[in-house]
Structure 1
Amino acid sequence: MSQKKKRPSVFREAWDNMNNDIDRVMPGGRQGKKKFVLWLFILEVVVVGLVGTLLYRWWTG
């Protein structure tokens, strides 16, 4: 039987792709890019969650 190749995590691949995209967009000298992206993601999730909750409450009234 052939051994299966261990495939890298999908999340790790997505994280690496996101970092490569951010590296192309943001200036090279900026320190803490990963921290900035993480905080931006958290802020986005919170804002979308709050807006979604408010819309749901308004819709179900």
Structure 2
Amino acid sequence: MAKQKKKQDSVFKEAWENMSGDFERLLPEKLRERKGKKKFVLWLFVLELLVLGAVGKFVWEWWVGR
């Protein structure tokens, strides 16, 4: 399988395409063909960042003993 990689314009575009491909495999069939899929994936990404940030904050505070 000699797949030729297309040249990416930016790192952000490549990251977005990778993330979209990953979510494409995870999303239920009903959400895969929706027109608002990009918006859904973006909100899911933001939610993930917020949750990981909150968890990280509490772990850090526990670790340093505040």
Band of TM-score, shorter chain: 0.5 to 0.7
Matches within 5 A, 1:9-20: 9-20=10-21
The reply on whether 1:50 has 2:54 as its aligned counterpart is yes
Closer, same or farther in 2 for the Cα pair 1:50/1:14, shift >3 Å?
same
1:8, distance to aligned residue in structure 2 (A): 1.2
Distance 2:43 2:13 in 1: 18
- Matched positions, count: 55
1:11, distance to aligned residue in structure 2 (A): 1.2
Which of 33, 36, 39 lines up with 1:32 in the alignment? Answer: 36
Q: Which runs of 5+ in 1 are unaligned?
A: 1-6
Work out the percentage of aligned pairs sharing the same amino acid. 55
What TM-score results when the alignment is normalised by the length of structure 1? 0.68
CA-to-aligned-CA distance 1:16-46 (integer Å, 9 cap, x gap): 3333444455434323000100000000000
Structure 1 residue ranges (4+ consecutive) displaced by more than 4 angstroms after TM superposition:
none
